[in-house]
Amino acid sequence: MKYETILRTRQFNNSTTLTLWLTIAAFGTYFCMFAFRKPFTAATFNGLQLWGIDYKIVLVVTQILGYAAAKGTGIKFISETRPQDRSKYILLVIGVAEAALLLFGVVAYPYNWLLLFINGFALGMVYGLVFGFLEGRRITDILGAGLCLSFIVASGVVKSIGLWVLGSGVASMWMPATVGFLFIPLLVLFVWMLHVSPPPTVEDERDRKPRLPMTPQDRRFFFRSLAPGLLMLIFIYVLISMLRDIRDNFAIEMWQELGSLTPQILTTTESWIGIIVTVLVGLSFLIKSNKAAFGMNLFIISAGSVIIPTASWLFESGQLSSVLWMTLVGLGIYLIYVPFNGILFERLIALREEKANVGFLFYTADFIGYIGSVSVLLFKNFGRSDWSWLRFYIGLTYFIPIISMALLITSSFYFFRKIN
């Protein structure tokens, strides 16, 4: 008997053990992935330009375009991937991403920007591969919340590590590969933990529907059956992705302008946000009714849409400190963003009879979301180049939540009418 079979039959004989195992494995894997994705944003690349564009914007846009291309490809690739192939694909694509970062250090400026496209394309496949181990279970809500905690916390932590590496004398172009290299042993361990975890049980499939690879016909049929509501949800995701990516990629510049930048500020604020969001979203695990849990996720999104502009108004009127403002806006962003990363779609699929999996819906939304993020970055560079990132960000914290709330109310009526 293979060792992984022994683990599956003996180690995971109760749901608590399985929940802890999968939460640690998924959190750890995706946390490590961020060490290959986000450290370069800790550098400012001051004074460097390409085609009249700030070089950091070039790098961010290039990586996002790679990510977007991966999401477009992943609509087919992730939805059709067999469960037994997921772990080897995770290691393969992250290996490609690290190789791209090494070449980013080797190739001289301004010719190394294209390496970030390869890096982004490879890493864009990881989330769907990891979530494939988690979906279709009665514990998926809590597992998904734990996974989402990783990308909230990890972004701040790896940028803090990036600042530390820069402070130790490593050049900006070599810093991303250096940070990634430090995380390789942990990555292998966590991917192995995913690999030996058991598939969903019969009881899981009864409550949440079997999650099988989808054919092109399956994808078309499912999307058409809910097209108006899905399009409204996807547009909300596009808008909040714009706001989240500006915060994520240009946090260093905004903290500098606020006069509060320290290596630990990124880790501290994002850790608190991650804990609060994980608890709130994870509580939907206690709701057995798929309809009620779907509604709970929509309510969480609406709460985030209220928190963001309220916090900005209080900050601009002098009633909030800069640290508390950044924390509250971040909390609102992730209260909207996190449910879209599998948990909202998980419950929607469980309510429907059509054949579907989360990878298909999430990668469809993410593909369009990253295209939106690129658009807003280019608009900032060419349309509002005289605005600082902080001023631009504050403006969006009023505009985006208002549009999102209108779309959310409309889509909620649509979905509950369809469900009933």
Q: What is the mean pLDDT of residues 174-184?
A: 91
Q: What is the mean pLDDT of residues 177-184?
A: 92
Q: What is the mean pLDDT of residues 34-44?
A: 83
Cβ–Cβ under 8 Å, residues 60 and 42: no
CA distance 56 to 250: 9
DSSP class of residue 50 equals E
The pLDDT confidence band at residue 353, using thresholds 50, 70 and 90, is low
pLDDT greater than 90 at residue 96: yes
Three-class SS of residue 82? coil
Mean pLDDT of the chain: 83
Written as six digits, the tokens of 131 are 């979530």
Residue with more model confidence, 7 or 190: 190
Q: What is the mean pLDDT of residues 237-246?
A: 86
Three-class SS of residue 36? helix
pLDDT at residue number 14: 54
Q: What is the mean pLDDT of residues 41-62?
A: 80
Residue with more model confidence, 169 or 204: 169
Residue with more model confidence, 408 or 16: 408
Alpha carbon of 284 to those of 20, 257, 278: distances in Å? 17, 38, 10
pLDDT greater than 70 at residue 9: no
Three-class SS of residue 49? strand
Where in the chain are the domains? 13-42+51-198+214-419
CA distance 115 to 325: 35
pTM above the 0.85 mark? no
pLDDT greater than 60 at residue 173: yes
Q: Nearest 5 degrees, angle CA 351-CA 369-CA 279?
A: 55
CATH number for the domain whose boundaries are 13-42+51-198+214-419: 1.20.1250.20
Please provide residue 157's backbone torsions phi and psi, each rounded to the nearest 5 degrees.
-65, -50
Residue type, 408: L
Cβ–Cβ under 8 Å, residues 125 and 77: yes
DSSP class of residue 357 equals -
- Of 193, 198, 203, 200, the residue nearest 9 (C-alpha): 198
Q: What is the mean pLDDT of residues 347-376?
A: 75
pLDDT at residue number 3: 45
The pLDDT confidence band at residue 263, using thresholds 50, 70 and 90, is low
